[in-house]
Structure 1
Amino acid sequence: MAKKLYQALKDKGNPEFIINEGPFLCTTDEAWLGHGYYFWDTFEYLPHWWGEAKLNNSYIVCKAKCDFSSSICFDLVGEPEHMDLFGSLVEVMEKEGLINDETTVSEVLYHLKNKLGIFHWKACRVIGVLSISPKTYSHYTFRMIFEVGQKHFLDYRPAIQICLYEKEIMNFREYEIIYPDKYLTA
């Protein structure tokens, strides 16, 4: 399945460098899924939210495509088997005393990859539940209640991220700048 991917980058006035060298590896310790090439999945509004919220409205959005496959991507969004496997592994780690209230998803993935050697996927996909504040960024939240008077809701355009651990997987292609207009080519 062909999938659209979006990467938001700080605008440093270097569009040629971005096109020639992109996508860009994220190596920050706060990276949700470990070091990799991070993209917003499908929804074009997500990199704009990130640019506004995290990059002080000085940002570039790049678009790319890939051929998504859950045999290559550990999919914690659309593959119940992967979700169940992750949950089972977390339970085992809890029993071994390897998890506490401050353990992050990234730390669990690191353990699976580098300590146990059982993580064979080349990418990971997750939803950042409640990562966009509806109070601050209401124009970037798409929620609808199920029942009047209840708090439950459907997030019909959720903040889904894909992290590619290798640059050239799932037929990654067509990396181009789509925002701001000043960097678009004819």
Structure 2
Amino acid sequence: MESKKIYQTLEDRENPDQIEQEGPFPCSWNNSWLGTGHYFWDTFIENAHWWGKTRLDNKYVICEAHFNFCTTTCFDLVGKTEHMLDFERSIGLMKTKKLLNNKTTVARVLSYMQNTLKIFDYKAIRVYGVHSKSKDLQPNYQMKFELGKPQYLDYKPAIQICIYNFSGLSFKDFTIVYPYDYVSGYVV
């Protein structure tokens, strides 16, 4: 089990006390990538800033928290190959039942795994949204493997964690870390 630092980016509604008292907050957008849950950026605060700048028009708050990351409670599509294979097998089952088409999303497959197959009983999920950020973004945290070739290492990838159920995750220390004038003890 690993204690993991995560960041939630929220719209700045000039309510820092409410954020720290009532947060974290769930996302229930119709197009939520992983379904309804509490979305966080894994490890890299730069991704939380990127989201705030691009999706929240530079009016955002970042909160930091910690939780116990373990692949028995978190379905890890970033680092656990067995989970990737489970996901692939679920897609295969959906294909055989003609439930898969070019409009099927990750959230739909996860819902199928949870509600139909009954094999998804995880409290959280971890994914890497490939091509989430533009290659032209500066800084881009990408390093080519070979000059003149398109392949690269993204050393601060846009990894998200969506927490569906906090019980047993030892979630703690949810606190504002940006903007600095909302940070407890900040002096001008």
TM range (shorter): over 0.9
Q: Residues 81 and 111 from structure 1, CA distance in 2 versus in 1: closer, same or farther, beyond 3 angstroms?
A: same
Does structure 1 residue 157 correspond to structure 2 residue 147?
no
Structure 1 Cα separation of the partners of residues 88 and 102 of structure 2 = 15
Q: CA RMSD in A?
A: 1.0
Q: How many residues align?
A: 184
Corresponding position of 2:16: 15
Q: Unpaired segments of 5 or more residues in structure 2?
A: none
Question: Which residue of the partner structure matches residue 138 of structure 1?
Answer: 138
* Runs of 4+ that moved beyond 2 A: none
The offset of 1:167, in angstroms, is 3.2
The amino acid across from 2:116 in the alignment is K
Residue 179 (structure 1) aligned with residue 178 (structure 2) = yes
Normalised by the size of structure 2, how large is the TM-score?
0.95
Aligned residue number for residue 95 of structure 1: 96
Unpaired segments of 5 or more residues in structure 1? Answer: none
Structure 1 residues 1-186: aligned runs within 5 Å: 1-135=2-136, 137-139=137-139, 141-186=140-185
Distance 1:132 1:22 in 2: 26
Shift of 1:148: 1.8
Q: Percent identity?
A: 45
CA deviation after TM superposition for structure 1 residue 69, in Å = 0.4
Deviation readout 1:42-77 (Å, 9 max, x if unpaired):
001011000000000000000000110000000000
Question: Aligned-pair distance for 1:16?
Answer: 0.6
2:8 and 2:64 in contact (8 A); partners too: yes
